[in-house]
């Protein structure tokens, strides 16, 4: 298929999305790698007059990859790259780009062959949702606009649907290949629990009672003296409500629920850990005035038993292993028939 060139950012975005059917592997050491098992290379395809009209670059277990396949993909990639880097840099890297694109086509072919063997298909509803997402991202609200945009990059709606189907099948294959061999042992769970004990349990929590003397509109020195006097009365056994009602500038507060010590403001966080239950702090100076604090109740930090967090740990370790295997995933060894 001959593709029309375009420099518009919108169509480059579409080309980049539909080109997801190809994996571009790491370039490091690519020229020294051997061809994957099951591949054959370079067969010319000639027309009636003997002129070469195409070429089979490689066969993957009998399925051909044509020169035109590589050229189409190269045009897509170049359209995207030209929006990002200078032309001279592109031309300097063009041989390596072509080699990597071909290896990506081979990888994709192998992955789809393995997906065929495993019976992996693409759900039609998921294909529709992904295409709709592309349309919304590129503001292509009408079918006519969408078809016209695809035509500018040499594609039809069915071409794109096939690209999306291939991408979904590849992603499903990778997910199944990666997660099928992920196993978390009881020893790993226990080791993780011992190393991360502080993550499993409730932090130290307190329920506070406060008497706040606001300095706004008042004499700070006089308010501090009132706070000192109130503190002395409270420490001598006077009832909190009685003392609070005695001072017109004092505002009483009491927590109905517990709050973690780590969530307290700086002033309270410095004073509360040293207070025993039902004891009052010294007069504390804050940005809004003076305050007295009493710890009504305290709940010490508690660590959840392993039995209560085993599933959480297993899930974390499974995710970590899956992400690592996804990073290390290489299709060629996995693509061989089981």
- CATH of residue 126's domain is 1.10.4030.10
Shared domain for 136 and 236, answered yes or no, is: no
Shared domain for 22 and 161, answered yes or no, is: yes
Q: What is the pLDDT of residue 136?
A: 92
The answer to whether residue 111 sits within a structural domain is yes
In 3D space, the residue among 216, 197, 130, 119 whose CA is nearest the CA of residue 167 turns out to be 130
Shared domain for 174 and 246, answered yes or no, is: no
The answer to whether residue 116 sits within a structural domain is yes
Shared domain for 293 and 186, answered yes or no, is: no
SS (H, E, C) the chain: CCCCCCCCHHHHHHHHHHHHHCCCCCCCCHHHCCCCCCEEEEEEEECCCCCEEEEEEEEECCEEEEHHHHHHHHHHHHHHHCCCCCHHHHHHHHHHHHHHHHHHHHHHHHHHHHHHHHCCCCCHHHHHHHHHHHHHHCCCCCHHHHHHHHHHCCCCHHHHHHHHHHHHHHHHHHHHHHHHCCCCCHHHHHHHHHHCHHHCEECCEEEEEEEEEECCCCCHHHHHHHHHHHHHHHHCCCCHHHHHHHCCCEEEEECCCCEEHHHCCHHHHHHHHHCCECCECCCEEECCEEEEEEEEEEECCEECCHHHHHHHHHHHHHHHHHHHHHHHCCHHHHHCCC
* Number of structural domains the chain divides into: 3
Q: What is the pLDDT of residue 53?
A: 66
Shared domain for 283 and 326, answered yes or no, is: no
Shared domain for 240 and 131, answered yes or no, is: no
Shared domain for 208 and 161, answered yes or no, is: no
Shared domain for 86 and 161, answered yes or no, is: yes
- Which of 144, 179, 214 is where one domain is finished? 179
Distance between CA atoms of residues 145 and 156, nearest Å: 12
> 284-286 and 201-202: which strand pairing?
unpaired
Shared domain for 63 and 123, answered yes or no, is: yes
Give the pLDDT of the chain (338 residues) as one tens digit per residue.
444 433 334 444 444 434 333 333 333 333 334 455 555 555 555 455 555 567 888 888 888 898 888 888 898 888 888 888 899 999 999 999 999 899 888 888 888 898 999 899 999 999 999 999 999 999 998 999 999 998 887 789 999 999 999 999 988 888 887 777 788 999 999 999 999 887 887 778 888 988 888 887 678 888 889 999 999 999 999 998 998 898 888 888 888 788 888 788 888 888 888 888 888 899 998 878 898 888 888 877 778 889 989 999 999 999 888 888 777 765 444 333 33
Shared domain for 209 and 142, answered yes or no, is: no
The answer to whether residue 4 sits within a structural domain is no
Q: What is the pLDDT of residue 330?
A: 53
- CATH of residue 220's domain is 3.10.50.40
Shared domain for 144 and 250, answered yes or no, is: no
Shared domain for 91 and 43, answered yes or no, is: yes
Q: What is the pLDDT of residue 317?
A: 93
The answer to whether residue 1 sits within a structural domain is no
Q: Which backbone phi and psi does 52 adopt, to 5 degrees?
A: -75, 120
Q: What is the pLDDT of residue 52?
A: 54
Which range of residues forms the domain containing residue 41? 9-28+35-179
């Amino acid at each position: 298929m001959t593709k029309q060139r375009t420099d518009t950012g919108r169509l480059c975005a579409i080309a980049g999305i539909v080109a997801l059917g190809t994996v571009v592997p790491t370039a490091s050491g690519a020229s020294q790698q051997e061809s994957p098992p099951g591949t054959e290379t370079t067969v010319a395809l000639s027309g009636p007059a003997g002129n070469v009209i195409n070429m089979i670059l490689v066969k993957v277990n009998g399925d051909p990859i044509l020169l035109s396949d590589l050229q189409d993909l190269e045009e897509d990639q170049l359209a995207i790259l030209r929006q990002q880097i200078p032309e001279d840099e592109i031309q300097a890297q063009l041989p390596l780009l072509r080699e990597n694109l071909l290896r990506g086509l081979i990888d994709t072919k192998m992955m789809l062959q393995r997906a065929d063997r495993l019976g992996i298909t693409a759900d039609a509803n998921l294909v529709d949702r992904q295409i709709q997402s592309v349309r919304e991202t590129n503001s292509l609200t009408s079918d006519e606009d969408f078809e016209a945009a695809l035509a500018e990059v040499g594609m039809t709606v069915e071409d794109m649907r096939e690209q999306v189907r291939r991408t979904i099948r590849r992603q499903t294959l990778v997910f199944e290949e990666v997660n099928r061999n992920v196993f978390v042992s009881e020893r790993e769970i226990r080791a993780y629990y011992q190393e991360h004990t502080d993550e499993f349990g409730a932090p130290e929590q307190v329920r506070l009672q406060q008497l706040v003397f606001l300095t706004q509109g008042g004499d700070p020195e006089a308010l501090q003296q009132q706070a000192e006097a109130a503190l002395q009365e409270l420490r001598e056994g006077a009832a909190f409500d009685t003392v609070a009602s005695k001072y017109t500038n004092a505002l009483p507060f009491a927590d109905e629920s517990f709050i973690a010590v780590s969530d307290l403001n700086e002033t309270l966080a410095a004073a509360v850990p040293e207070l025993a239950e039902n004891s009052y702090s010294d007069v504390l100076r804050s940005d809004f005035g003076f305050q007295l604090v009493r710890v009504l109740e305290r709940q010490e930090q508690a660590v959840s038993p392993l039995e209560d967090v085993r599933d959480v740990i297993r899930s974390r370790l499974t995710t970590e292993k899956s992400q690592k295997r996804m990073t290390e995933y290489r299709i060629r060894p996995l693509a061989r028939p089981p």
